[in-house]
Structure 1
Amino acid sequence: MWMLVAIADVALVVATASALVVMMVLAGAMIVAGAIAGGLMLQRRAVPQRESVLQGSVLRRRA
């Protein structure tokens, strides 16, 4: 009888450890994905040139 209890204990430990490993792998994947997304957002990008408001045809100063 005690052998069945020991086997059940080992099965519980293995099940708990595997669930913990899965959670740690998922957390690690989310951290890596966040680091990649953050790195992409922090990269310098070319800013499109817009027509200046002062030079536009709508807002011109009178001399």
Structure 2
Amino acid sequence: MNCRRHGSKPTIALWMLVAVADVALIVAAAGLLTVLLVVAGATVVAGGVLAARNFSRREPEPAKAVVRRRA
């Protein structure tokens, strides 16, 4: 039986090359300006979501100090 490791570095590098080629094909098909506008819009939306999450997060109440006297 063939014991092949999954997730090896050459396999990941190959899939990264495939992903880069896919991006190049999308840019060639849709046009550079269109792709840049879509990426800029997605960046603005993601930044807005992160800002909303940070502003809506409540701060935890500070812990009460425990004062003990030494015997």
What's the TM-score once normalised by structure 2's chain length?
A: 0.47
Q: CA deviation at 1:47?
A: 1.2
Could you list the structure 1 runs, at least 4 aligned residues long, displaced by more than 4 angstroms after superposition: none
Count the aligned residue pairs.
42
* Cα-to-partner distance string for 1:5-50 (whole Å, 9 max, x where unaligned): xxxxxxxxxx6x7100000000000000000000000014251441
State which structure, 1 or 2, has the greater radius of gyration over its C-alpha atoms: 1
Return 5+ residue gaps in structure 2 as ranges.
1-27
Higher RCO by CA contacts (8 Å cutoff, separation 6 or greater): 2
1:50 and 2:32 equivalent? no
The whole-number CA distance in structure 2 between the counterparts of 1:45 and 1:19 is 41
Q: Give the share of equivalent positions with the same residue, in percent.
A: 32
Kindly report which structure 2 residues correspond to 1:1-63, keeping only aligned pairs within 5 A, or say none: 18-45=31-58, 47-52=60-65, 55-57=66-68
